[in-house]
């Protein structure tokens, strides 16, 4: 019964993960005078370790400085969340930007919510909170979804319940990871949008993906223009061929000579641009070897 309640809470997002604090027990190894799980305290920054499960990989310095200015004026409005470790320190579960900004200011403490969580729970909470943020780039979100699949063993349906997103939305983000790494970097740096990425990912060849990406950058193509460009890449070009009766005289004359040389009828395919192909058929292995000897003889 307890497990069912826990899953239901996870399905409502990070806030649900943090509720029922009064019922949480102290983690093992916590001393009697140590902060209790479920309490909010002013915690010394030097006792806090960065979360190794942090899914966010980029922290913009300008944004951290802006947050630091806000904290200097108003203080930390929302406490960070930490968990107690076995080494009598605390590990960040969420709130690394607030933690970094407080360090920039030279603050000694920060409001912190203490909770009990094992490694898997800490990772899931960090990922769920990360996905809910508004300032993440599409690749960061996609990587967070992928880690929920790989490390937490969640299905797309289970993730949909956890983060409150449609399954199709999750699938669209995950498809972005099929893009060439160069294009993923371009999306993270803001050179192209997720809409551009969703169009490019329909191309299987990474070389073609990069060619399209370069055209988008060079010509500042919109998402719609990119979709048209991708469609043209995907649709085989129709080559207009010349009918046999309309072949030029020099080709018709040459066909007879080539056919006579190889000992049977050959076929010619010619395009209106002037290029073409000579097709030399063979009817058996012996016939193929005979043609090969003729070619080798005249080298």
Catalytic residue among 23, 24, 73, 96: 96
- Dist. CA 201–CA 184, nearest whole Å: 11
Neighbours of 194 (CB within 10 A): 17
Q: What are the distances in angstroms from CA 208 to CA 154, 187, 201, 211, 225?
A: 33, 17, 10, 5, 16
- Give the pairing type, strands 267-270 and 276-279: antiparallel
- Dist. CA 262–CA 257, nearest whole Å: 9
**Residue indicated by tokens 């209106």:** 272
Nearest CA-CA partner of 179 in 223, 145, 209: 209
Question: Is 96 an annotated catalytic residue?
Answer: yes
Query: HEC string of 229-276?
Result: HHHHHHCCCCCCECCHHHCCHHHHHHHHHHHHHHCCCCEEEEECCCCE
Task: Report, as residue numbers or ranges, the catalytic residues.
Answer: 96
């Amino acid at each position: 019964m307890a497990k069912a309640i826990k899953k239901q809470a996870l399905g409502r997002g990070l806030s649900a993960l943090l509720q029922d604090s009064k019922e949480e027990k102290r983690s093992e190894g916590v001393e009697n005078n140590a902060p209790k799980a479920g309490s909010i305290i002013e915690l010394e920054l030097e006792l806090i370790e960065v979360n190794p499960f942090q899914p966010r990989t980029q922290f913009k310095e300008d944004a951290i400085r802006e947050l630091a200015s806000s904290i200097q004026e108003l203080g930390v409005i929302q406490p960070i969340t930490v968990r107690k470790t076995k080494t009598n320190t605390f590990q960040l579960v969420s709130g690394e930007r607030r933690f970094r900004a407080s360090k920039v200011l030279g603050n000694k403490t920060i409001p912190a919510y203490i909770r009990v969580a094992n490694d898997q729970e800490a990772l899931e909470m960090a990922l769920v909170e990360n996905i809910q943020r508004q300032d993440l780039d599409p690749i960061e979100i996609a990587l967070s979804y992928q880690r929920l699949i790989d490390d937490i063993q969640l299905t797309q349906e289970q993730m949909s319940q956890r983060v409150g997103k449609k399954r199709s939305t999750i699938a669209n983000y995950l498809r972005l990871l099929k893009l060439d790494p160069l294009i993923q970097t371009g999306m993270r740096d803001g050179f192209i949008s997720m809409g551009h990425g969703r169009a490019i990912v329909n191309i299987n060849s990474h070389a073609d993906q990069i060619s399209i990406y370069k055209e988008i950058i060079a010509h500042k193509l919109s998402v719609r223009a990119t979709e048209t460009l991708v469609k043209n890449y995907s649709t085989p070009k129709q080559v207009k061929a010349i009918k046999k009766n309309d072949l030029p005289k020099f080709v018709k004359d040459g066909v007879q000579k080539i056919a006579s040389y190889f000992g049977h009828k050959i076929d010619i395919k010619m395009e209106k641009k002037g290029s073409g192909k000579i097709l030399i058929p063979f009817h058996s292995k012996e016939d193929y070897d005979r043609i090969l000897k003729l070619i080798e003889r005249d080298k």
